[in-house]
Chains A and B, each alone.
Chain A
Amino acid sequence: MTTSGAQGRQVVLEARGITKRFPGVVANNNVSLRLHKGEVLALLGENGAGKSTLMNILYGLYHQDEGEILVNGAPIRASSPHESIERGIGMVHQHFQLVPVMTVAENVMLGNELMRGAIFLDRRRAARQIGEISRQYGLEVEPGAMIADLPVGAQQRVEIIKALYRNADILILDEPTAVLTPQEADDLVRIMRTLVDQGKSIIFITHKLREVLEIADRIIVLRGGKVVGEALPAESSESSLAAMMVGRDVLLRVDKAEAHPGEAVLEVRGLRVRDDRGLPAVAGVDLTVRAGEILGIAGVQGNGQTELVAAITGLRAKEAGAVRVSGQDVSLSSPRQISELGVAHIPEDRQREGLITSYELTDNSVLELYYRDPFAHGIIRDEAEIDAHCAQLVEEFDVRTPSTHVPASSLSGGNQQKLIVAREFSQPLKLLIAAQPTRGIDVGSIEFIHNQIVKKRDEGVAVLVVSAELDEVLALSDRIAVMYHGQIVATVHNGELTREELGLLMAGADVHK
């Protein structure tokens, strides 16, 4: 057993031999863990390793098939989140559970309202209590502010306050930094420190290695539903943790030679695009991507990257500006016309755009190629060709699936993404547009997809990578463009600016070198 710095301290939460089965999978297999008072415990694992299932069991959303849970030494049967809250367990979900049109105070009270008389909400008393909590733990929020007006980091603080307001002593944070800027993530780390210093205990779930080492007191690694190891940050490195997560050695840096850029393939000039609400999302963007280079667009989500990609690929109307692919003006072309020029698009949301999750892998493997020879002759589909094509993609890209004839929804995120990448690479390419190519997938798949993207670059494909993960942009790009409020605020060669400087640019700050 690894010795732990928290040893000797009181155990506030303990799971003993938790097993949870879903049809066809064992999500948790005899998992045991202990959380000590005043400790930050990181639960590290790839997607599908069983982290979320375990947390949902601890929080009472699921019930385990075997094993028991003890809170402060007493066995409990957490059968609903309500009971968990009463026992002092609070959870901050990855997708916030807030009502956007209500104020901070109203959201915090929701389900636990302070009343004045029988029917009036006591907003003033609630605001006072929220103020106390936020002072005590350094959680800055304005109780009267509307949730919809708050930045993501502040919304997350509201979620934490919500849990503390219900007297939670144990906090479960599910992928808390996934939606934050690097600076917001630093704030969160500070908040977590304050919380544990004042006697709270935290379990946080993540697949990001860097932050585990920064924040955690102790790390438990899950793989395939089992605890495969326990580690202390001081004795671990990113690569040792990654190896434990994946079960083999992983190359964390993308190994790539210097780029040899050729002629311009994608040229965007003065592009303006409005979002769904009719507000300017892309406000005059110029960029050029050359054959054989990777241009990475860094930026916090929601700064116009989505609209930029949609406009380039023909999925969204342009208000002004021009887009040229290999010198040909495609400003008014349809998505299909653009695709037929040799433009592949890995969409940012694989379940909403990249796949029909109810379709089998075979149909998904030809999602935008279905009408082309040899997959169809006239209007008649050639299922034998489609099957063979899909089988080949699954083989080449190591998509883990029992068969090509299962719905795409049955695959893990990483395997879904590999299938999309395989499909997009299966046609002759000039330009690859990869939006969030590795969002929410496991380290092994990230490594694989990154290498495939670099391989395409080396074959002379122009690559545009858009990612909210600065690490990904840094790992892949030859040049980096930072997008903020619909504009490219800087374009630099990779290495010219530090990670911190890029982070500041992403947050809208001026960086003068």
Chain B
Amino acid sequence: MSESLETRTPSRLLAVWRQYSSPLVPVFAVFTALVVGALMIGLTGGDWLTAYIGLWEGSFGSWRGIGNTVVRSTPYIICGLAVALGFKGGLFNIGAEGQLYAGAVLTVIVATSLKLPAIIHVPLALAAGAVGGALWGGIAGFLKARTGAHEVITTIMLNYVALRLTEWLIKSKTPYLLGDPEDTTGARTRFIEDSARLPGFQIGDTTRLHMGILIGIALAFAVWWLLYKTTIGFELRTAGANPSAARYAGISVPSTIVLTMALSGGLAGIAGAGEVLGVRGALSADLLAGLGFDAIAVALLARSNPLGIIASGILWGGLLTGASLMQVRAGLSIDVIKIVQALIIMFVAADQIVRFIYRIPKRGPGEETSIAKSWGG
């Protein structure tokens, strides 16, 4: 009797594990990446414990760290939503980077050239960012809908166009377009009007905690609502999940593609606007560099779940924020954090590795056979 009990308990635990572990894959991916990162620090002669304690204190372990993390995470959350929305519509928007800049440029124009009360100026400048990003994303959507040009190619190309255009707008001196004649380096635009600044307050000497995070969280809920509670979201997801069935259902797939890219670009544009209005107060060509690509990672880590992106965006921002203190404490290169981030993405993307390590099954008999094939079982 006791024997059967003993053999039973673990198998029941295992059954529970099999049933509920699937959503935890990203968590295990992060954990595994941290373990492998620690091994790497150890192997290169570093002290991983000191490093990780520094990482923790710098990001989440102090009020100042938390403030910095929140500010740093905001654009990753909003831009992550942009990429995730694209994924839900079956589109791989690699162009968030370009859409960020396109949005930021329109935002700078509105924020520097108009004089309005803050209550109007801030929303208008944010809306300008959304419009800029939406137009830039919409181009790629239109090209795909009309000609079938793959969005991965067109958005990558449009990234270069947006970045160079932004540089030209900033650096042109005859005449000055967006550049600031008072800035001798010529690396940034004029500063925005105070009335366009995102409300916030100074924490410490260098960081200003602004309301962008509230916008980000609100947008996460808005995207979730749009995707799952409206007919527009249904069309977008259906076109993404199965274009043939979407056509059968009477959905215009080309219009849905344009709309998806415009919405995705619009979100990215808001992320760019937030950095201009909340953090820097001006636009420079390096302000948003790499953000659009990291956003892909943030979206993947949350498996494109809009609410999950709040968490993955904060994790991403936290890792970057804590990296500097880790660097000081453990004498490590900041690149270690980049490696850990890369490992996280690798483990999320190759989730079969994580599933294999932690014995997390795929769901459904159909998926089971695919695992059997890839593991030679």
Which of chain B's residues 203-242 have a Cβ closer than 8 Å to chain A? Answer: 229-232, 234, 238, 241-242
B247 adjacent to chain A (CB < 8 Å): yes
Rounded to whole angstroms, the CA-CA distance of A356 and B237 in the bound complex is: 10
A170 to chain B, nearest CB (A): 23
Rounded to whole angstroms, the CA-CA distance of A388 and B248 in the bound complex is: 23
Rounded to whole angstroms, the CA-CA distance of A333 and B368 in the bound complex is: 43
B126 to chain A, nearest CB (A): 22
Q: Give the number of chain B interface residues (Cβ < 8 Å).
A: 23
Contact between B230 and A22 (Cβ–Cβ < 8 Å)?
Answer: no
A381 adjacent to chain B (CB < 8 Å): yes
Contact between B364 and A356 (Cβ–Cβ < 8 Å)?
Answer: no
Residues of A within 8 A of B242 (CB): 352, 356-357
Rounded to whole angstroms, the CA-CA distance of A335 and B372 in the bound complex is: 40
A254 adjacent to chain B (CB < 8 Å): no
Contact between B248 and A345 (Cβ–Cβ < 8 Å)?
Answer: yes
Residues of B within 8 A of A371 (CB): 231
Which 8 pairs from chain A and chain B are nearest by CB?
A336-B250, A22-B365, A368-B249, A353-B248, A379-B230, A367-B249, A335-B250, A371-B231
Contact between B249 and A370 (Cβ–Cβ < 8 Å)?
Answer: yes
Contact between A376 and B249 (Cβ–Cβ < 8 Å)?
Answer: no
Residues of A within 8 A of B245 (CB): 352-356, 367
Which of A27, A335, A359 interacts with B241 by CB under 8 Å? Answer: A359
B252 adjacent to chain A (CB < 8 Å): yes
B96 to chain A, nearest CB (A): 25
Given the known inter-chain contacts A315-B248, A356-B245, please indicate yes or no for A22 contacting B234, CB distance below 8 A. Answer: no
A385 to chain B, nearest CB (A): 13
What residue in chain B is nearest A22 (Cβ atoms)? B365
Given the known inter-chain contacts A22-B365, A25-B365, A409-B366, please indicate yes or no for A370 contacting B244, CB distance below 8 A. Answer: no
Residues of B within 8 A of A356 (CB): 238, 241-242, 245
Given the known inter-chain contacts A23-B361, A25-B365, A409-B366, please indicate yes or no for A347 contacting B230, CB distance below 8 A. Answer: no
What residues make up the interface of B, taking CB atoms closer than 8 Å to A? 18, 229-232, 234, 238, 241-242, 244-245, 247-250, 252, 361, 363-366, 368, 372
A80 to chain B, nearest CB (A): 9
Per-position binary interface string of chain A over residues 342-385, scored 1 when its CB falls under 8 Å from any chain B CB and 0 otherwise: 00010100001111111100010001101100001001110100
A94 adjacent to chain B (CB < 8 Å): no
What residue in chain A is nearest B377 (Cβ atoms)? A63
Rounded to whole angstroms, the CA-CA distance of A315 and B363 in the bound complex is: 33
Residues of A within 8 A of B363 (CB): 23
Residues of A within 8 A of B241 (CB): 356, 358-359
Contact between B366 and A354 (Cβ–Cβ < 8 Å)?
Answer: no
What residue in chain A is nearest B365 (Cβ atoms)? A22
Which of A23, A339, A379 interacts with B231 by CB under 8 Å? Answer: A379
What residue in chain B is nearest A336 (Cβ atoms)? B250
What residues make up the interface of A, taking CB atoms closer than 8 Å to B? 22-25, 27, 62, 315, 334-336, 339, 345, 347, 352-359, 363, 367-368, 370-371, 376, 379-381, 383, 407, 409-410
Contact between B364 and A23 (Cβ–Cβ < 8 Å)?
Answer: yes
Contact between A380 and B229 (Cβ–Cβ < 8 Å)?
Answer: yes
Which of A347, A370, A381, A409 interacts with B364 by CB under 8 Å? Answer: A409
Contact between A370 and B361 (Cβ–Cβ < 8 Å)?
Answer: no
Rounded to whole angstroms, the CA-CA distance of A381 and B377 in the bound complex is: 44
Given the known inter-chain contacts A352-B244, A353-B245, A358-B241, please indicate yes or no for A368 contacting B250, CB distance below 8 A. Answer: yes
B88 to chain A, nearest CB (A): 12
Which of B230, B252, B365 interacts with A23 by CB under 8 Å? Answer: B365
Contact between B231 and A381 (Cβ–Cβ < 8 Å)?
Answer: yes
A344 to chain B, nearest CB (A): 12
Known: A353-B244, A383-B229. 15 other contacts (CB 8 A): A22-B368, A23-B361, A24-B365, A315-B248, A334-B250, A335-B247, A335-B248, A345-B248, A353-B245, A353-B248, A354-B248, A367-B248, A368-B248, A379-B231, A410-B364
Residues of A within 8 A of B252 (CB): 334
B22 to chain A, nearest CB (A): 12
Residues of A within 8 A of B368 (CB): 22-23
Rounded to whole angstroms, the CA-CA distance of A370 and B228 in the bound complex is: 12
Residues of B within 8 A of A409 (CB): 364, 366
Residues of A within 8 A of B234 (CB): 363, 370, 381
Given the known inter-chain contacts A22-B365, A25-B365, A356-B242, please indicate yes or no for A370 contacting B247, CB distance below 8 A. Answer: no
Contact between B247 and A315 (Cβ–Cβ < 8 Å)?
Answer: yes
Residues of B within 8 A of A381 (CB): 229-231, 234
A254 to chain B, nearest CB (A): 27
Rounded to whole angstroms, the CA-CA distance of A492 and B177 in the bound complex is: 77
What residue in chain B is nearest A21 (Cβ atoms)? B365
A221 to chain B, nearest CB (A): 23
Residues of A within 8 A of B372 (CB): 62
Given the known inter-chain contacts A356-B238, A409-B366, A410-B364, please indicate yes or no for A370 contacting B231, CB distance below 8 A. Answer: yes
B265 to chain A, nearest CB (A): 20
Rounded to whole angstroms, the CA-CA distance of A359 and B249 in the bound complex is: 14
Given the known inter-chain contacts A347-B248, A356-B241, A368-B248, please indicate yes or no for A380 contacting B230, CB distance below 8 A. Answer: yes
Rounded to whole angstroms, the CA-CA distance of A352 and B250 in the bound complex is: 15
What residue in chain B is nearest A56 (Cβ atoms)? B369
What residue in chain A is nearest B250 (Cβ atoms)? A336
What residue in chain B is nearest A334 (Cβ atoms)? B250
Rounded to whole angstroms, the CA-CA distance of A347 and B238 in the bound complex is: 17
11 contacting pairs across A/B (C-beta < 8 A): A22-B365, A23-B368, A27-B365, A335-B248, A352-B245, A354-B245, A359-B238, A363-B234, A367-B249, A368-B249, A379-B231
What residue in chain A is nearest B372 (Cβ atoms)? A62
A415 to chain B, nearest CB (A): 15
What residue in chain B is nearest A372 (Cβ atoms)? B231
A371 to chain B, nearest CB (A): 5
Residues of B within 8 A of A27 (CB): 365
Residues of A within 8 A of B249 (CB): 335, 367-368, 370
What residue in chain A is nearest B242 (Cβ atoms)? A356
Between A23, A359, A383, A409, the greatest number of chain B beta carbons within 10 A of the residue's beta carbon is seen for: A23
